[in-house]
Structure 1
Amino acid sequence: MRAPAAALPASLLALVLALATGCTAAASGSSGAQDPPRSSAGPASADVTRAYDTYWTTWLAANRTPDPQDPGLEQVATGSQLRELRDNLAQSKEAGQVLLGEVGHRVTGMETTGEHTRVLHDCVDLDRWLIHDSATGRPIDQLEDKPSQQGAFTMIREREGTPWKVGSVDVLGENC
């Protein structure tokens, strides 16, 4: 494990991790009122995987020049997740920061929780996605070795044939 460039206050570290994943709260085990029973996780379907990959490509691009009104966001996220992404971009823009680099993924399965709802489980590696000063382009002191996070990404589509979008994200744990 590499040493941090400089120690970050716990609140800033939490913000970094929240910005990086679009998450602000740990999982509570439920994503809404009266969720149907969850089935056991199986392999992710190709259409959900494509939508999930597009979500990340769009989210990474949006962080290069943080614009909370980026029209691409509504193509890949909906509901509370869309609001969180926009809020995170507004915070980055106000702070004069951008997030640059790559995010690693290891999708571990998918659950079917309803006709138009899937929950994709992914171990997200944030080590190569770093905060930079938007004016100078220089990295801001931060942990260089961040814990990976197991996330549950709820994918939603309004009706058959419409695209899957990320509706919510729950952090299930670290160091997956």
Structure 2
Amino acid sequence: MSGPSPDAAGAVREAYGAMWSERVKAFRVASADGTDLERYVAPVVLSVFEEELARLKKDGMVIRGDLGHEPEVSLADAGAGPPRATVEDCVDLSKWQPLDITTGWPLPLPGDQPLRHAATATLERGDGGRWTVTAYVPHRSRAC
């Protein structure tokens, strides 16, 4: 991996941020309906996100609040297939609040997870020039 050019790194950061913006919308209602998640993530990633949202809905939960990030972008050698980038992020859940769908009462975050945990995303730039998240791995046991 090499240092990203400012333009490419900015485009990757923008796509990653847009994915999170749409994901936060989905968490607020425990559903991807009405979001543009499919625009920013590959089908395999969307499937994982939808499973997570289905669990929230089954558990009678939605999530409100702000989510913090500290994404660092690195780009792969563009000569080896489609342009790829890796985002190493520190996801900050300290202002994130699960709520009971029925009562609106606050629920605790999982106790086995740090409020700030690492995550890794892989993005690829498609033929149309748009960056898409092709893999997303939260490292919930790894504090940052």
> Aligning the two structures, in what range does the TM-score lie when normalised by the shorter sequence?
0.7 to 0.9
Which residue of structure 2 lines up, in the alignment, with residue 129 of structure 1?
A: 96
Q: Which amino acid is 1:62 matched to? A: A
Tell me the distance in 1 between the aligned counterparts of 2:44 and 2:71: 22
Cα separation, 1, equivalents of 2:69 and 2:32: 24
Q: Is the 8 Å Cα contact of residues 68 and 87 (structure 1) preserved in structure 2?
A: no
Aligned counterpart, 1:10: none
Query: Partner amino acid for 2:94?
Result: D
Shift of 1:70: 4.4
Question: What per-residue deviation string (whole Å, max 9, x for no partner) do you get for residues 99-128 of structure 1?
Answer: 111111112332326533211111111121
Count of residue correspondences: 137
SS at structure 2 position matched to 1:124: strand
How far, CA to CA, are the matches of 1:92 and 1:77 in structure 2? Answer: 20
Normalised to the residue count of structure 2, the TM-score between the two structures is 0.80
Aligned partners of 1:69 and 1:86 also within 8 Å: no
1:85 is displaced (CA, Å) by: 0.7
Q: Distance in 2 between matches of 1:122 and 1:142?
A: 20
Q: Partners in 2 of 1:157 and 1:98 — Cα distance?
A: 32
Q: Give SS of 1:105's match.
A: coil
State the structure with bigger RCO (CA 8 A, min sep 6), 1 or 2. 1
Q: Which structure features the higher share of strand residues?
A: 2
- TM-superposed CA distance for 1:149, in Å, is 1.6
Name stretches of at least 5 consecutive residues in structure 1 with no aligned partner. Answer: 1-38
| Cross-structure match for 2:20 | 56
**Which residue type is aligned with residue 135 of structure 1?**
T
Mapped pair 1:106 → 2:108: no
Per-residue deviation, 1:41? 5.3
The 3-state SS of whatever aligns with 2:109 is coil
Contact 2:63 2:98 in 1 (8 A): yes
Q: CA deviation at 1:137?
A: 1.3
Structure 2, unpaired ranges of 5+: none
Q: What percentage of aligned pairs have identical amino acids?
A: 27
- Residue 78 of structure 1 aligns with an amino acid whose one-letter code is A
Q: What is the alpha-carbon distance in structure 2 between the residues aligned to residue 89 and residue 67 of structure 1?
A: 6
**2:105 partner amino acid:** R
Question: Among residues 105, 108, 118, which one is paired with 2:85 in the alignment?
Answer: 118
Higher mean C-alpha displacement, 140-149 vs 72-81: 140-149
Q: TM-score, normalised by structure 1?
A: 0.67
